[in-house]
Amino acid sequence: MLETIILGIIVLLFLWWLTQPNARFKKFGDAIPGPRPYPYFGDMLTAPLTGPNALDKHVALARKYNGTYRLYMGNILSVVVSSPEDIEAVLTSNSLINKAFTYEFLQSWLGTGLLTSTGEKWHARRKIITPTFHFKILDKFINVFNKHTDVLIKRLEKHCSQESFDVEMLLKRCTLDIICETAMGIETDEKSSVIVDYIKSVERIIQILSDRLTKPWLFSPITYALSGRYFIERKLLKTLKLFIDEVINMKQSDEADTKSSSEDFDDFGIKKKTAFLEMLLNIKSQPNTIIATDKDIMEEVNTFMFAGHDTSVSTLCYSLYLLAVNPKIQDMLYEDLIKTFHSKDKNFTREDLNEMKFLERVIKETLRLYPTVPFIGRNANEDIKLPSGYVIPKDAMVIVNIAYSHKNEKQYENPDVFNPDNFLPENVAQRHPFSFIPFSAGPRNCMGQRFALLEIKTILAKIVLNYKIEPANGNFKPMPDVKMVLHSCTGHKLRISKREM
């Protein structure tokens, strides 16, 4: 009996030792303020980076510790930066260009595509994909934005008689149809059940992988499998692959049917810029290329299908909520749009969208209060001294706290209040450029941000021109839920009524 007790104590002490930070992490971590960590779990029980409380929790921690603080993810030191000066140092540093090691858990789904890759592969992929977001290509997409938004407007009409409804799935279908036709070059079947299965599978896998990204007890393949999540993930990946395979096969068939050398050039004999999937397929057909296999194409298509629809929906949902609970601003926006365009049925041009200055301020203010990706993780390749004076040791994780940087009292007056005038040019000029980074910043910023802004403008403008938006039940408020991308664990319920010209 005594031997069993002694053996048990030894095992517990060994496990405790395994979960302690290494000496360098402890040395530098002790110099940075932060909450008390617990063995094995670190701070992930009391200060999680995902879930319904994550947004408010890390705004509060940043305020408590004056911007920079440390967390332990198990025994791994994470330095959280929240001031614009520290954020600028992190996002512009070549020593902090690699994503945090936890992004590796996304590779079962997204492979080593643009979001998760590092080093030379990331540089090469970024270089070849960037031209697919050239303004000349974006110009061609505006008609697609208009077309699918008009379909959305018709779908919304049947909800006018309802006391409330959840708008999220309708928006997901709209943005997914847009990304399929623009970036992928294929038109989706309006009645296809595969699309609905894909959307629901994305929702579920995001939840599962978000848990694994920030919960150290799920880092191990053994504990992850024992939790049951691994087997659910494998099933979801099959559904996701089914849809992505269908998208790629449809495009390949279309390419084979329409291939013509003359189509590669415009009326002036200048080589055309091609959209995303077409470009990937063209590169794959060339010798000695970075996109050489079906797997290479699959991982980039997976990345862009996810990022191209889910992130925009987050911003659209929270924009509609903020307009619903701020009716005066909604009325101002409607008057501005109708005065400029004189019609609720107009098909916008890029020039029209660029003219929507007030709507742009509304969108940016939404992104300030509800950033699509509230936290970004990086790995330190060497010791880095921050402007705040703290040192990030090599191999530590760095977390950029976008949630607090957008609510920093030193940068924004009344930071918790919805005020689109925060983005009047004269007010923007007074703030640090890294105090507003909804699409990240530096060399790993979001290359699709212009696409997203034009798409969101099109959808919001047409909704506001056609419908008056009110909160469901008079006082419904979504509860922010961080799952890689910001969602709501209570849904996005609204009430709408048709506007009459």
Annotated binding site for heme: 446
- Tell me the binding residues: 446
In terms of DSSP bridges, do strands 397-401 and 76-81 run parallel, antiparallel, or are they unpaired? parallel
Pairing of β 467-471 and β 493-498? antiparallel
Token code pair at residue 428: 């923007």
Distance CA 123, CA 38 (A): 38
- Name residue, tokens 């909804």: 438
- Is residue 448 a contact partner of residue 307, using CB atoms and an 8 Å limit? yes
The partner residues of 395 in beta bridges, in order of sequence, read none
Dihedral sign, CA of 412, 424, 171, 185? Answer: negative
Phi, psi at 75, each rounded to 5°: -105, 15
Q: How many C-beta atoms surround the C-beta of residue 191 within 10 A?
A: 7
Selection from 171, 172, 152, 162 nearest residue 495 by Cα = 162
Question: Do residues 33 and 70 make contact, with C-beta atoms less than 8 angstroms apart?
Answer: yes
472 DSSP assignment: G
| 485, containing H or E segment | strand 485-488
